Amino acid sequence: MLVTLIRRYSKPYLPYIWAVIFFQLASTIAALYLPSLNAQIIDEGVSRGDTDYIWRTGGVMLVVALVQVVTAIAGVYFGSRAAMAFGRDLRRGVFRQVTSFSAKDVNVFGAPTLITRGTNDVQQVQMLMLMGLNFMVATPIMCIGGIFMALREDLNLSWLVWVSVPVLVVVVGYLVVRLMPLFRAMQKKIDRLNGILREQIIGIRVVRAFVREPHEAERFGAANKDLTDVSLKIGALFVLMFPAIGMILHVSTAAVLWFGGQRVDAGEMQVGALTAFLQYLLQILMAVMMGTFMAMMIPRASVCADRIGEVLDVEPSIHETLTPVAPVEKAGRVEFRNVSFAYPGAEAPVLSDISFTAEPGQTVAIIGSTGAGKTSLLALLPRLYDAASGEVLLDGVPVTDLDRSEITQRVAMVPQRPYLFSGTIEHNLRFGKPEATDEQLWDALTVAQAADFVREKKNGLGSRISQGGTNVSGGQRQRLCIARALVTEPKVFLFDDSFSALDVATDARLRRALKAKTADATVIIVGQRVSTIADADQILVLDNGRIVDRGTHDELLQSSSTYQEIVESQLTAEAVA
Ligand code: DCP
Ligand code: MG
């Protein structure tokens, strides 16, 4: 998966990558050339007292050093650009994919992991890409070139290379192998800590209400301690890592000086060659170290790449039709024909054999006990889910054959759990229709009985709404969501229990204003209160996913025992209250 992702998403940046390869090649070769020039100055120039030679070679050395610096900078520049652009595109890919998910697809993963995959996991792969571009080319060349150059300086000391490199590989490799599982464990512990924290923040009121703070603090403390323990283990290994590497470097240096010094003494080797050999050995060891670090990043990034790939590979379960049918009329007629539906993974259907028609200008109400399937029924029209069998038709065309925009233009839904986005009231109201005028917004607010409280706010339409709309009351949020639906002037309104948080008087006023506003529209109302739905043209009584009775309020009072029960229970409740 890692390779596939990198191949797919780095394609547009191939020119950058070629530039990186070119510049790194140049800078590595220059870096390899420098110690040998240095040796020449010492051995040819200084020993013979040839000032001219020193100046000339020194000049060359200066130029080579300049080339090395400039090309190294250029390499890192292009490498960073390519890696960051790669990460951006990958993130965008994940985001686009997730926005095309249906409610079902999101449920398969869960929101938190989708967030982690779109951010942290992408970052890990991006990091590998960055390190890879910066070191992948330089490291092997440095290593092999370094060995070659070192041997050129002195063959007799070559055994020092053959000893120190494997020792370094073994030591660093051992530490990396010990570190890997710890890193993986750490990732999991971070996930867990995030999960607990998220849950506690969201559920803070419940935690307070049930005085569960000590218990929750304990739960968090345990996860926190877990993470600390792993981090400490990692820290302990790192504490070992740097002295161990330093030790190998210093022992190698001492060995080169010791054995090389003897050869210099014996006149078998020149001082310049000795220093050059030492520099090459250090370059080689550095390269080996970088290579090992790189190798360590690959497994981690590849786990992340797999997780990203899982998201990207999902075939969105709601397919857009490739041959959309253009409806002849756009009146907003809704029809359900023998519709059945089950949630993915559930054995029993939530809806069975639902048939009804809602004509433009009509109000159809759905009533039924909690869990009866009312919300699920509404979700089928805007295609949040698709029916398992039967047909959902909009103006005579199955919704599966309609272009998505055809549906969203004509159907507006006020969800049971009203949701507002962070931003201003204005920005939320214009969500479905950005070009709406202020007048239209106020009009919608007036109908939704929300104009008064918006007007009372200091900034009016410009007042801030926090994420989810948590800084307004439940009833205010509901009314703003109703206004948001009104602004789009749809042909079909779906109200899912949208009046539940309103007091009876506001509810009645709102519905009266709505009636005038939505005279030509098809309205489907899910309601719990009989008073909310009593004046509907048709009432469907839903029980266990089936329509058990249908008719007007008066008809149902006569014929439906389920409806009578509901009415009675509410009358008793009112009497008690
Ligand atoms: N259900 C499910 N998966 C979901 C949503 C619901 O399995 N993502 C199940 C739980 C219920 C059934 O479907 O048993 C019907 O759920 P609805 O939300 O459609 O029920 P209502 O809207 O009628 O209930 P309420 O009045 O509480 O809103
Ligand atoms: Mg519901």
For 125, 361, 389, 510, 519, the CA distances from 516, given in Å and listed in that order, are 57, 10, 36, 10, 5
416 close to ligand 1 (CB < 6 Angstrom): yes
CA of 137 to the centre of ligand 1 (A): 57
pLDDT of residue 229: 95
Q: Is 374 in the pocket of ligand 1 (CB under 6 A)?
A: yes
Here the tokens at position 544 are 């266990």
What is the three-class DSSP state of 414? strand
For the ranges 188-192, 395-399, 470-474, the lowest mean pLDDT is seen at 188-192
- pLDDT (0 to 100) of residue 95: 94
The C-alpha atoms of residue 532 and residue 547 are separated, in whole angstroms, by: 19
- Flag whether pLDDT at 63 surpasses 70: yes
pLDDT in tens, 116-140: 888 888 998 999 999 998 888 888 8
Q: Which of the pair, 172 or 394, is modelled with greater confidence? A: 394
**Collapsing DSSP states into helix, strand and coil, what is residue 317?**
coil
32 secondary structure, DSSP code: H
- Residue in this structure with the two tokens 């059945």, named with its chain if needed: 340
**Residue 283 above 60 pLDDT?**
yes
pLDDT band at 409 (very low <50, low <70, confident <90, very high): confident
> Which residue, chain included where needed, has tokens 């390269």?
287
Answer yes or no: is the C-beta of 371 below 6 A from any ligand 1 atom. yes
Span 541-560, average pLDDT:
92
Nearest ligand, CA of residue 540? 1
Query: 104 C-alpha to center of ligand 1: Å?
Result: 14
pLDDT value of residue 308: 92
pLDDT value for 364: 95
Neighbours of ion ligand 2 (CB under 5 A): 374-375, 416
For the chain, residues classed under CATH 3.40.50.300 are 334-576
- CB distance 372 to ligand 1 below 6 Å: yes
pLDDT of residue 508: 87
Q: Which atom of ligand 1 is nearest to the CA of 542?
A: 23
> In the numeric block, which tokens belong to residue 462?
């410009």
Pocket test for ligand 1, best of 343, 384, 385 (most atoms within 8 A of CB): 343
Would you say domain 2-183+231-312 falls under CATH 1.20.1560.10?
yes
Q: What's the confidence (pLDDT) of residue 218? A: 93
Cα-based distances in Å from 172 to 177, 241, 284 = 9, 7, 14
Contact (CB, 8 A) for 16 and 81: yes
Residue 535 backbone dihedrals phi, psi, to 5 degrees: -95, 15
CA atoms within 13 A on the CB side of 551: 14
Q: How far apart are CA 5 and CA 543, in angstroms?
A: 49
Domain 334-576: which CATH class?
Answer: alpha beta
pLDDT at 376: 94
- Does residue 327 have its Cβ closer than 6 Å to ligand 1? no
pLDDT confidence of 576, banded at 50, 70, 90?
low
> Mean pLDDT of all residues in the chain?
89
574 has a pLDDT exceeding 70: no
Phi-psi label, residue 472: left if phi above 0, alpha if psi -120 to 50, beta otherwise: beta
**DSSP track, 166-177:** HHHHHHHHHHHH
Please say if the pLDDT value at position 174 is more than 80: yes
Q: Is the pLDDT at 577 greater than 70, yes or no?
A: no
Which residue of 317, 375, 478, 546 sits with most ligand 1 atoms within 8 Å of its CB, as the best mutation to test the pocket? 375
Q: How many helices, marked H, and strands, marked E, lie in the chain? A: 22, 12
Q: Kindly give the distance from the C-alpha atom of residue 567 to the centroid of ligand 1, in angstroms, as a whole number.
A: 22
Q: Is the CB of 370 under 6 A from ligand 1?
A: yes
Q: Give the separation between CA 228 and CA 399, rounded to whole angstroms.
A: 53
Dist. CA 372 → ligand 1 center (Å): 7
Q: For a pocket test of ligand 1, which of 106, 317, 350, 384 has the largest count of ligand atoms closer than 8 A to its C-beta?
A: 350
The arithmetic mean of pLDDT across residues 569-576, rounded, is 71
> How far away, in angstroms, is 344 Cα from ligand 2 center?
18
- pLDDT tens digit sequence for 529-541: 888 888 899 999 9
Query: Is 186 within 8 Å of 231 (Cβ atoms)?
Result: yes
Determine the average pLDDT of the residues in 319-323.
76
CA of 378 to the centre of ligand 1 (A): 11
In angstroms, the CA 429 to CA 450 distance is: 12
So what's the pLDDT on residue 380? 93
- Do 216 and 132 contact (CB within 8 A), yes or no? no
For residue 341, the CA-to-ligand 1 centroid distance in Å is 12
Q: How far apart are CA 505 and CA 145, in angstroms?
A: 86
Pocket of ligand 1 contains residue 440 by CB under 6 Å: no
pLDDT value at residue 575: 60
First-to-last CA distance in the chain?
62
Q: Which of 557, 560, 512, 558 is nearest to 532 (CA)?
A: 512
Question: Residue 227: which of 183, 268, 168, 257 has the closest Cα?
Answer: 183
- Write the residue with the smallest CA distance to atom 19 of ligand 1: 373
State yes or no: pLDDT of 153 exceeds 90.
no
Q: Answer for the pair 269, 96: CB distance below 8 angstroms, yes or no.
A: no
pLDDT value at residue 32: 92
Q: What is the mean pLDDT of residues 293-300?
A: 79
Q: How far apart are CA 549 and CA 337, in angstroms?
A: 16
Ligand 1 nearest-atom number relative to CA 545: 15
520 Cα to the center of ligand 2, angstroms: 26
- Identify the CA nearest to 337 among candidates 358, 355, 350: 355
Over the stretch 206-215, which tens digit does the pLDDT of each residue have? Answer: 888 888 889 9
Q: Ligand 2 mean position to 414 CA, how many Å?
A: 11
- CA proximity to 369, closest of 555, 576, 542: 542
Give the residue range(s) of CATH 1.20.1560.10 domains in the chain.
2-183+231-312
Ligand 1 geometric centre to CA of 107 (Å): 14
Q: At what angle do helices 271-312 and 122-135 cross, to 10 degrees?
A: 150
**Nearest-5° Cα angle at 263, 261 to 266:** 110
Residue 183 CA to residue 129 CA, distance in Å, equals 19
Which residue's C-alpha comes closest to atom 27 of ligand 1? 370
Non-local (6+) Cβ contacts of 49 within 8 A are: none
Question: Which residue, chain included where needed, has tokens 């923040």?
Answer: 201
Specify the higher pLDDT residue, 575 or 358. 358
Residue 103 CA, closest ligand 1 atom number: 8
Q: What is the mean pLDDT of residues 20-33?
A: 93
Tokens (6 digits) for 185: 């464990």
Which tokens in the block code for residue 295? 């190798």
**Which ligand 1 atom is the nearest neighbour of the CA of 372?**
23
* Cut 0.85: pTM above it: no
| Cα–Cα distance, 141 to 23 (Å, whole number) | 13
- Asked if the model's pLDDT at residue 339 lies above 80, the reply is yes
pLDDT(49) > 70: yes
